[in-house]
Amino acid sequence: MSQPQTLASLFAERVQLLGDHEAFRAPAPGGGWTSLSWKQTDARARDLAAGLLSVGLQPEDRVAIISSTRLEWILVDLAIALAGGATAAVYPNTHESDVAYIVADSDAVIAVAEDAGQVKKLREARSSLPALRIVAVIDPTGLGAPGPDGSWDDGWLISLDELGARGRTHQAGHPAAVDDAITGLKPEHLSTLLYTSGTTGRPKGVELTQGNWVYLAESVRQIDLVDHDQLQFLWLPLSHSFGKLLLAVQYGIGFTTAVDGRIERIVDNLAEIRPTFMAAAPRIFEKVHARVTSMAADEGGAKERIFDWAFRVGIACVRREQAGRSIPPVLGLQRTLADRLVFTKIRARLGGRISRLVSGSAALAPAVAEWFAAAGMPILEGYGMTETSGGCIVNRPGAVRIGTVGVPFPGTEIKIAEDGELLLRSAGIMRGYHSLPEQTAEVLSADGWLATGDVAEVDADGYVRITDRKKDLVKTSGGKYIAPSAIEGTLKATSPMIGQVVVIADGRKFPGALIALDTDTATAWGQANGVARDDVPTDERIRTLVQDAVDTVNLTLNRWEQIKQFRILPRELDVVSGELTPSLKIKRAVVMRDYSVLIEEMYR
């Protein structure tokens, strides 16, 4: 069997090899979980692929998916690959105007919408989307009864089930249609258009090819990051490169994935699924850390003292191991006891079987990484961008260096520019920005080097440390450079009460900070202390707790980096208010605009 060159052929090979083995698991309508084998996944995806072909999909034609993470998203994405098209992914919480922009900019000819709410966005923009021929809806609840032909809006809107039915009819007359489409694919063909989060301006469409995903899948297979017999819990947004990367890796390795994108169900799902592998953004690990530590503090007494002792022991062991030093016998015995009394219980909350945790999409605070490692769940922090197909550098199992993002994938070249910027070259680098040749040329050289915009260092063993975003380095009025993200991450790790931080320093005489409380921790504190949720941010006891955390962090900083003033925000920053991107990155410009009065108060 020849080496697969496209995502479609990679999946087809996995179906041939694994057949009746479980591929996916998803929530069942009546409760519990339903399972699909590789063969069943292939059959459902082929029906949808033939349906796409029946409505005129041509090679590299774009199909927009506007949906949360769910099994149907994966089946549609697979169908698009098998039909030779390209997925244009849209976050479900994207504002109507940006949905219209992305669908139009991507030249999507077909769209798949999750529900009536997403259909509404497309209906209202229909007049500005002349290329959009048909829309398929996953859940048609609330749309009323369809017409005799199974459609709404004079055939413009159909259900996803109807698309599959049309595919089965199409295959009856053209049994080789899907196989012919797969055969016609080449590695350089467009596979995915992922739109960057857009912390400033309109999002750019990143063109990722069939070959990009195959390279990523093969690279992860080579480094044994995850095994074929593992069970992944996938909840990450599939409109993000990190989520889509995990699917490509699954097709390349053949493990099973339980998929459910409902954020509020993460903890319950961990207990039900009992996965062995999960990837997440740092915010999820920060939430777990904050929740567990605050619960221990609430218990007080001997339990809190045992908890604190266990982590002092565990972190001491982690730091010795990181430094290449042996664990003294007494400390080793203490760690065994700490594991029995505390750490096993924490691992049980995550299902009890986790052997791989992977962090990406933003910097992970070293203190949080140490905490998880102490509990027996080391996090493999990695690095990637949408422009690198989601990943290119990662720590390896058994060889984690906390504070770094690991070493490059096989075949990924790195170098550091004169100004400290990290440059990358590999087969995973994007084809370019869609219809933006000038912006592509700004970051991608003629010989294939991608300018990441991140400042980095590489140690003697090849481990990469990201120090900050090049554009986020700020200079105080005294001429001192500050890396805000490092300070922000340390503050969040120091206190479970702190949820988000925005450090202000550019052109200012000293650094200040806007601090949002962690909603869960603040609510629990309010309930325990008889304070209404809305009044928690202004309570003097909360200010004292935050001040203690700031003072603790300041002791680790240079004088010019220390936070001299801070303001507590009335609520957490969120996507709806435009303060976060859909992938939960802070839009600094928006936050600084919205809270300009508080900022100016700090510098009076």
Report the sign of the C-alpha dihedral through residues 237, 581, 549, 480, in that order: positive
Q: Does residue 585 contact residue 362 with C-beta atoms inside 8 Å?
A: yes
How much is the average pLDDT of 397-413?
96
Least confident range of 58-72, 92-106, 267-281, 476-490: 476-490
End-to-end CA distance of the chain: 71
pLDDT in tens, 68-123: 999 999 999 999 999 999 999 999 988 888 899 999 999 999 999 999 999 999 99
State residue 10's pLDDT score. Answer: 96
In a domain, 51, yes or no: yes
Please, what is the average pLDDT of the chain?
A: 92
DSSP state of 589: H
263 has a pLDDT exceeding 90: no
DSSP state of 86: E
User: What does the alpha-carbon distance between residue 596 and residue 590 come to, in Å, rounded to a whole number?
Assistant: 10
Least confident range of 131-140, 286-295, 302-311: 286-295
The CATH number of whichever domain residue 109 belongs to comes to 3.40.50.980
Taking CA atoms, 521 is separated from 273, 366, 369, 526, 539, in Å, by 26, 21, 20, 9, 14
Tell me: do 248 and 304 sit in the same domain: no
Q: 157 or 510: which carries more pLDDT confidence?
A: 157
Q: 363 or 446: which carries more pLDDT confidence?
A: 446
Q: 198 or 394: which carries more pLDDT confidence?
A: 394
Q: Count CA atoms closer than 13 A to 546's CA, side-chain side.
A: 29
Tell me: do 115 and 12 sit in the same domain: yes
User: What does the alpha-carbon distance between residue 559 and residue 554 come to, in Å, rounded to a whole number?
Assistant: 8
Tell me: do 164 and 89 sit in the same domain: yes
Taking CA atoms, 539 is separated from 386, 521, 532, 536, 595, in Å, by 41, 14, 10, 5, 19
Tell me: do 323 and 228 sit in the same domain: no
DSSP state of 426: S
Tell me: do 340 and 489 sit in the same domain: no
What does the buried/exposed string (b/e) look like for 90-120 if buried means 16 or more CB atoms within 10 Å of the residue's CB?
bbbebeeebbbbbbbbbbbbbbbbbbeebbe
Tell me: do 320 and 237 sit in the same domain: no
For residue 145, count other CB atoms closer than 10 A to its CB. 6
State residue 201's pLDDT score. Answer: 62
Among 351, 377, 400, which residue terminates a domain?
351
* 3-state SS, one letter per residue, for 212-276: HHHHHHHHHHHCCCCCCCCEEEECCCCCCHHHHHHHHHHHHHCCEEEECCCHHHHHHHHHHHCCC
467 has a pLDDT exceeding 70: yes
Q: 362 or 215: which carries more pLDDT confidence?
A: 215
Among 298, 327, 351, which residue terminates a domain?
351
Tell me: do 245 and 294 sit in the same domain: no
Read off the amino acid at residue 88. A
Q: Does residue 482 contact residue 475 with C-beta atoms inside 8 Å?
A: yes
In a domain, 111, yes or no: yes
State residue 94's pLDDT score. Answer: 84
Read off the amino acid at residue 507. G
Contacts of 493 (CB under 8 A, 6+ apart): 286, 289, 365, 366, 367, 368, 371
Q: 361 or 515: which carries more pLDDT confidence?
A: 515
User: What does the alpha-carbon distance between residue 10 and residue 244 come to, in Å, rounded to a whole number?
Assistant: 14
Rg (CA), the chain: 25
Confidence of residue 297 (pLDDT cuts 50, 70, 90): confident
Read off the amino acid at residue 566. F
In a domain, 235, yes or no: yes
Q: Which of 508, 487, 502, 492 is nearest to 558 (CA)?
A: 487
Tell me: do 91 and 234 sit in the same domain: yes
Q: Does residue 310 contact residue 296 with C-beta atoms inside 8 Å?
A: no
What does the buried/exposed string (b/e) look like for 350-366 if buried means 16 or more CB atoms within 10 Å of the residue's CB?
bbeebebbbbbbebbbb
Cα 49–Cα 55–Cα 57 angle in degrees, nearest 5 = 65
Q: Does residue 575 contact residue 581 with C-beta atoms inside 8 Å?
A: yes
In a domain, 404, yes or no: no
State residue 198's pLDDT score. Answer: 53
Residue where the block lists tokens 């798949």: 112
200 has a pLDDT exceeding 60: no
For residue 39, count other CB atoms closer than 10 A to its CB. 15
Residue where the block lists tokens 């720590």: 395
- Which pTM does this prediction carry? 0.86
State residue 476's pLDDT score. Answer: 78
State residue 583's pLDDT score. Answer: 67
Residue 157 is encoded by which pair of tokens? 């809107």
State residue 333's pLDDT score. Answer: 97
User: What does the alpha-carbon distance between residue 47 and residue 162 come to, in Å, rounded to a whole number?
Assistant: 10
Residue 372 is encoded by which pair of tokens? 């998880």
Decide: helix, strand or coil at residue 360. coil
In a domain, 207, yes or no: no
464 has a pLDDT exceeding 90: yes
Contacts of 540 (CB under 8 A, 6+ apart): none
Tell me: do 145 and 246 sit in the same domain: yes
pLDDT in tens, 58-77: 999 999 999 999 999 999 99
Domains: count for the chain: 3
Number of H helices, E strands in the chain: 21, 27
Cα 508–Cα 511–Cα 512 angle in degrees, nearest 5 = 105
In a domain, 39, yes or no: yes
Residue 436 is encoded by which pair of tokens? 């933006």
In a domain, 273, yes or no: no
pLDDT in tens, 209-237: 999 999 999 999 999 899 999 999 999 99
55 has a pLDDT exceeding 60: yes
Among 329, 351, 373, which residue terminates a domain?
351
Taking CA atoms, 38 is separated from 34, 72, 216, 388, 528, in Å, by 13, 15, 21, 28, 49
Cα 217–Cα 223–Cα 224 angle in degrees, nearest 5 = 90
414 phi and psi angles, rounded to 5 deg: -135, 150
Q: Count CA atoms closer than 13 A to 345's CA, side-chain side.
A: 13
Tell me: do 92 and 229 sit in the same domain: yes
State residue 577's pLDDT score. Answer: 83
pLDDT cut 70: percent of the chain above it: 98
In a domain, 197, yes or no: no
Q: Which of 135, 157, 139, 138 is nearest to 147 (CA)?
A: 157
Tell me: do 144 and 28 sit in the same domain: yes
State residue 197's pLDDT score. Answer: 63
**Largest interatomic CA distance in the chain:** 77
Which stretches within 94-240 are classed as H helix? 96-105, 116-124, 160-173, 177-183, 210-222
Tell me: do 104 and 246 sit in the same domain: yes
Residue where the block lists tokens 């033939």: 50
> Whole domain around residue 145: which residue ranges?
7-185+223-260
Decide: helix, strand or coil at residue 92. coil
Taking CA atoms, 447 is separated from 64, 101, 214, 429, 452, in Å, by 31, 31, 21, 12, 15
How much is the average pLDDT of 361-375?
91
The CATH number of whichever domain residue 572 belongs to comes to 3.30.300.30
**Virtual CA dihedral for 301, 304, 307, 312, nearest 10 degrees?**
-100
User: What does the alpha-carbon distance between residue 206 and residue 196 come to, in Å, rounded to a whole number?
Assistant: 7
